[in-house]
Structure 1
Amino acid sequence: MTHAHRLAAVRRTMAEYDINAFIVPHDDEHLGEYIPPYAERLDWVTGFSGSAGVAVILADTAAMFVDGRYTVQVRQQCDNTLFSYHHLIDEPYLNWLITELNAGDKVGFDAHLHSQHWYQGAQEKLAAHNITLVPIAHNIIDQHWQDRPTPNSHPALLLSQDYSGQHSEAKRNRIAQGLAEQHIDAQLLTQAEPINWLLNIRGRDIDCLPVVLSFALLYQDGSVQLFADPAKFAGLDLAAHAGDNVSLFAVCEFEKHLQMLGTQKSRVQLDPTTANAWSALTLSEAGAELVFAADPCMLPKACKNQVEVNGSRSAHLRDGAAVCRFLSWLDKRLSQPHPEQEHEGTLADKLESFRASHPEFVEPSFSTISALGPNAAMCHYHHLNGTPRTLGQDAIYLVDSGGQYLDGTTDITRTVAVGEPDAEIKKLFTLVLRGHIDLAQARFPAGTAGQQLDALARMPLWQQGYNFDHGTGHGVGHYLSVHEGPQRISPKGSMVPLTSGMIVSNEPGYYREQGFGIRCENLQVVQAAHLDGDIPVFEFETLTFVPFDRRLIDENWLENKHIQWLNQYHRQVWEKISPLLEGDDLAWLEQATRPL
């Protein structure tokens, strides 16, 4: 079935439901960033495979909305005779809908796939134009997706306290105490990451995201009802691991327990930005009193304890050795006959093989972005979306990759010379690297948010008339999601202060459509800076140890402080990674870490 046929089928059902528009987000019922194959409805109806976007389907037109990471990819994957293209941030899709619809029209949506916050705002915004938001009980896409994948049933993992650093009961009691103080009867948890963190469990329900997909209710006495596939816990003693007051139920029982809370007139707290509208509506309609507040698991999950930080340090050393072995192999392969036999896909596979040689490696932390030449201009490019580009025709190669280890999650981007980069590419690479160094060296007072630091990484580019259309840094979990909140470093978004134990990426870049892409990324953990001053100050400790490509550096665009930082960083790379390498790889590292 072509995408034109799929659109036609959806429109027929829209007419049967008497709705004038239907919204298709890239989300599942847990509203996390990564979704399982059975929830890839946006891809099914549009062909767009990116990790963020929204389609809006009307009777005679349709539109795709994506952010700056996907403006190139959406044009390659979505038929422009079926969809118009729009920037998700600059032209919000509700605004576009209002211009396309008439008073009295109805907009259909699946309440499982939208947050309560979105629902409240969208309902009010559309109502101002006499447009009605209509929940659709059975998703229209699902009615036509004949070969829709079924959810998997991989076994759950009970994560040892040797890795988590804290027992589940201690985490639950800490959060439950806050609920009791606020006279909250129960906390609704719908995102997988906080639930898995709270109970010290992990899973394989989604590629690259080691979670058990689930819902949970945390009560003010510290007890938890977990709603998941019981088959995933077969043979595991969840109560012995997490505590006797943790009960496991099938997901199909979730609605009944929400209704019971309503019948009991309970005060139920939920995060309106992460809880789906369906669960909020179910509770409210059953009689529960809803209390809206940030998910109380998010901040303690983001502030890694010392065991988690030490585990992350260890994971990054392992990971750094694997990436160095790959870069050593790549340089050697370029000097051998027929490098064109290698392409973006074989390069990604080779890198993964080096990571997989470590017994602690579980899986990649995201799909490797292995991009040559113009493909690197797409920030979230994936070689499986088209014909992989071969070695030998481009000056630079961008590889953004990471690993999930039992003791930590990694994410690193290196841009390397695979041909003859010209002076402009070297200038731009050096400006990006300079911004990376400026952010890495930052010291900032307690209470400072990532939004206030973002300009440090952009300033070298701004001063020469360049910029990049994505955030500078995202939070990273501990053997959890490679993208974690609430912390981030971005021109817009979170004003949550950066504090001890938070792990964030530092990844400025530059992208030229149809030309090339550049990005320099390390992970950093926030630590207290022990200074002589009279205010508390934080700084970043770098976790990632892999050389930056000296062949791409134009020292004319660096100040002495940047050269000093880079030389010191490369000394650390040598000291930390050289004991893990041997032979040609060790010789490569020695060359790659020579001082400027």
Structure 2
Amino acid sequence: MTHAQRLAHVRDDLRQQQLDAFIVPHDDEHLGEYIPPYAERLAWLTGFTGSAGAAVVLTGKAAVFVDGRYTVQVRHQCDSALFEYRHLIEQPVLDYVLGELAAGARVGVDPRLHSRGWFDAAKKKLAARGMELVPVSLNPIDHHWHDRPEPEIRPALLLSQEYSGQHSEAKRNRIAEQLAANHIDAQLLTQAEPINWLLNIRGRDIPCLPVVLGFALLHQDGRVQLFAEPAKFEDLDLTGHSGVNVSLAPVSELEAALRELGKKGARVQLDPTTANAWSSLVLEQAGAELVFADDPCMLPKACKNPVEVQGSRTAHLRDGVAVCRFLAWLDRRLAEPNPELEDEGTLADKLHALRAEHPEFVEPSFGTISALGPNAAMCHYHHGNGTPRKLGQDAIYLVDSGGQYLDGTTDITRTVAVGEPSEEMRKLFTLVLRGHIDLACARFPAGTGGLQLDALARMPLWQQGYNFDHGTGHGVGHFLSVHEGPQRISPRGSTVPLATGMIVSNEPGYYRENAFGIRCENLEVVQPAETDGDIPVFEFEHLTQVPFDRRLIDTAWLDTRHIDWLNHYHAGVWEKISPQLAGEDLIWLEQATRPL
């Protein structure tokens, strides 16, 4: 079926349901960052395969919306005869709808694929112009997607306390006490990460995100009803692992459980930014009292306990060995005949193979960004979306990658010389590295959020008239999502205070379109700092153990303190990684960590 035929079928459904528009987000019913293949409705309709976007189907036209990461990709993948291209940030979906339709129009949405917060705001915005937001019971894409992939049933993993550091019952009781204190009868959990963290389970339902997909109700007595595919837990003792007050039922029974809470007039808490509108509408219509609040699992999940922090250190040592071996191999390969036989794809495959040699490795933590020359100027480039660029024609190479290990999640970016970098490239790399060091050295009082620290990483670039158009750091989970909230370091938030055990990335960069890209990324864990003062102060402990490329450093752009930090960092990398290397790899590391 062509995309033109798919679009025509969706329009037929719109006419039958008397709808003037239908909004298609890139989301599933859990509203997480990553979605399984059977939920790729936006790709089915439009051909666009990026990780964020939306589409609007009108009776006579259609548009696809992407952010700045995907403006090139969308033009390659979506037929301009079928879809207009719109910028997701500069012209939000609802603004487009309001500009195209008149009063009396009916705008359809699948309430399972939008948050309750978005649903309420959209309903109000449309109503102000005399339009109606209509939740549909049957998504027109689902109606016509006849070769839709079936959800895979992969076995769940019961994560032992050796890795989690805390029993599920302790976690549940801690949060249940908060619910009881606020007179909440039950907490609805809809995103996979908090549910998996709460029950100390993991899974393989989504590539790069080791979770079991499902929903859960946490009651004020600590009892949990988990709604997930029971076959995933076949031959596993879930109650023995998570606690006798944890029950398992198919997702198909969720609606009945929500209605039962409604009949009792229960006070049910949910996060309007993460809970889908359908679940909250079912509760509301059944008689439940809704309480909107932040997901109470998010903050304790983000503040890793000492066992999780130590596991993350161990995972990063293991990961550092793999990345150092890769970089050593890359340098040797460049010195051999015909290095152009390697391309962005084979380089990514080599790095993956080295990580996979470790038995604790489960899978990548995201799709590797293996980018040569101008491709590195696209922050979320993937070599699989086109013809991978070959070695031999570019001065620098950017590789952003990570691994999911049983004891931690890693994410690292290194920019390395694969040719002869220009003086300007070396200057810009050094300014980016200087910003990275300035942030890594930060000490800050309790209550400080990432918003307040972001400028530290940008200042060296700002002072020379440069900047980068992405956040400086995102939160990272523990054998969970590589992108975790609520902590992040960004000019657009967050004000959530950084606290002990939070892991964040430190990744300033610089990108010149059609030329090159630079990024320096380590993961850092927040720890208490020892001071002589009278207020609590925090600092960062770096987890990543891989040298920065000395060939790209121009020391004229560094102060003595930056050079001292770099020499100290490299000495630590040598001390921790060298015992696990041998031969040419060890010789490479010795050279790569020499003092400046």
Please classify the TM superposition score into its range, dividing by the shorter chain length: over 0.9
SS at match of 2:524: strand
Structure 2 letter corresponding to 1:309: V
Separation of aligned partners in 1, 2:498 and 2:5: 49
Spell out the pairing of 1:15-26 with structure 2 (5 A cutoff).
Answer: 15-26=15-26
Structure 1 letter corresponding to 2:408: G
1:134 deviation in Å? 0.8
Structure 2 letter corresponding to 1:465: G
Spell out the pairing of 1:167-182 with structure 2 (5 A cutoff).
Answer: 167-182=167-182
Structure 1 letter corresponding to 2:141: I
Residue in structure 2 matched with residue 592 of structure 1 by the alignment? 592
Q: Specify whether residues 559 and 68 from structure 1 end up closer, same or farther in structure 2 by C-alpha distance, changes over 3 A only.
A: farther
Residue in structure 1 matched with residue 138 of structure 2 by the alignment? 138
Separation of aligned partners in 2, 1:80 and 1:518: 32
Separation of aligned partners in 2, 1:147 and 1:416: 43
1:186 deviation in Å? 0.5
1:126 deviation in Å? 1.1
Give the TM-score, by structure 1 length: 0.98
Residue in structure 1 matched with residue 480 of structure 2 by the alignment? 480
SS at match of 1:90: coil
Q: Specify whether residues 512 and 82 from structure 1 end up closer, same or farther in structure 2 by C-alpha distance, changes over 3 A only.
A: farther
Separation of aligned partners in 2, 1:480 and 1:351: 21
1:362 deviation in Å? 0.8
Residue in structure 2 matched with residue 192 of structure 1 by the alignment? 192
1:110 deviation in Å? 0.6
Alignment pair present for 1:57 and 2:61: no
Separation of aligned partners in 1, 2:91 and 2:436: 30
1:105 deviation in Å? 1.0
Residue in structure 1 matched with residue 88 of structure 2 by the alignment? 88
Backbone CA RMSD of aligned residues = 1.1
Residue in structure 2 matched with residue 434 of structure 1 by the alignment? 434
Separation of aligned partners in 2, 1:593 and 1:79: 50
Spell out the pairing of 1:95-494 with structure 2 (5 A cutoff).
Answer: 95-494=95-494
Range with greater deviation from structure 2 (318-327 or 17-26): 17-26
1:563 deviation in Å? 1.4
Residue in structure 2 matched with residue 530 of structure 1 by the alignment? 530
Note if contact 1:50-1:380 (Cα within 8 Å) is conserved in structure 2.
Answer: no
SS at match of 1:414: strand
1:221 deviation in Å? 0.5
Separation of aligned partners in 2, 1:378 and 1:8: 33
Structure 2 letter corresponding to 1:109: V
Structure 2 letter corresponding to 1:191: Q
Q: Which runs of 5+ in 1 are unaligned?
A: none
Note if contact 1:376-1:517 (Cα within 8 Å) is conserved in structure 2.
Answer: yes
Separation of aligned partners in 2, 1:428 and 1:42: 38
Q: Specify whether residues 373 and 5 from structure 1 end up closer, same or farther in structure 2 by C-alpha distance, changes over 3 A only.
A: farther
1:66 deviation in Å? 2.2
SS at match of 2:44: helix
Spell out the pairing of 1:9-88 with structure 2 (5 A cutoff).
Answer: 9-88=9-88
Q: Specify whether residues 533 and 378 from structure 1 end up closer, same or farther in structure 2 by C-alpha distance, changes over 3 A only.
A: same
Range with greater deviation from structure 2 (476-485 or 450-459): 450-459
Separation of aligned partners in 2, 1:71 and 1:564: 41
Separation of aligned partners in 2, 1:378 and 1:10: 33
Separation of aligned partners in 2, 1:68 and 1:565: 34
1:394 deviation in Å? 1.2
Note if contact 1:503-1:524 (Cα within 8 Å) is conserved in structure 2.
Answer: yes
1:494 deviation in Å? 2.4
1:62 deviation in Å? 2.2
Separation of aligned partners in 2, 1:61 and 1:336: 54
- Structure 1 runs (4+) deviating above 4 angstroms are none
Structure 1 letter corresponding to 2:263: T
SS at match of 1:194: helix
Cα displacement string for residues 373-419 of structure 1 (whole angstroms, at most 9, x for unaligned residues)? 12112211111111111111111111111001110000001111111
Cα displacement string for residues 297-338 of structure 1 (whole angstroms, at most 9, x for unaligned residues)? 000000000000000000000000000000000111111111
Separation of aligned partners in 2, 1:465 and 1:142: 49
State how many pairs are aligned.
596
1:188 deviation in Å? 0.3
1:345 deviation in Å? 1.0
Note if contact 1:165-1:306 (Cα within 8 Å) is conserved in structure 2.
Answer: yes
Note if contact 1:73-1:381 (Cα within 8 Å) is conserved in structure 2.
Answer: no
Separation of aligned partners in 1, 2:409 and 2:260: 38
Structure 2 letter corresponding to 1:304: K
SS at match of 2:419: coil
Structure 2 letter corresponding to 1:5: Q
Note if contact 1:68-1:470 (Cα within 8 Å) is conserved in structure 2.
Answer: no
Separation of aligned partners in 2, 1:89 and 1:461: 25
Note if contact 1:70-1:379 (Cα within 8 Å) is conserved in structure 2.
Answer: no
Range with greater deviation from structure 2 (277-286 or 423-432): 423-432
Separation of aligned partners in 2, 1:423 and 1:17: 62
Give the TM-score, by structure 2 length: 0.98
Note if contact 1:270-1:294 (Cα within 8 Å) is conserved in structure 2.
Answer: yes
Range with greater deviation from structure 2 (90-99 or 186-195): 90-99
1:80 deviation in Å? 3.0
Residue in structure 2 matched with residue 554 of structure 1 by the alignment? 554
Residue in structure 2 matched with residue 565 of structure 1 by the alignment? 565
Cα displacement string for residues 425-460 of structure 1 (whole angstroms, at most 9, x for unaligned residues)? 212211111111111111111111101111111112
Residue in structure 2 matched with residue 502 of structure 1 by the alignment? 502
Q: Which runs of 5+ in 2 are unaligned?
A: none
1:215 deviation in Å? 0.3
Structure 2 letter corresponding to 1:12: D
Cα displacement string for residues 132-173 of structure 1 (whole angstroms, at most 9, x for unaligned residues)? 111111111112222111101000111000000000000000
SS at match of 1:487: strand
Separation of aligned partners in 2, 1:136 and 1:352: 43
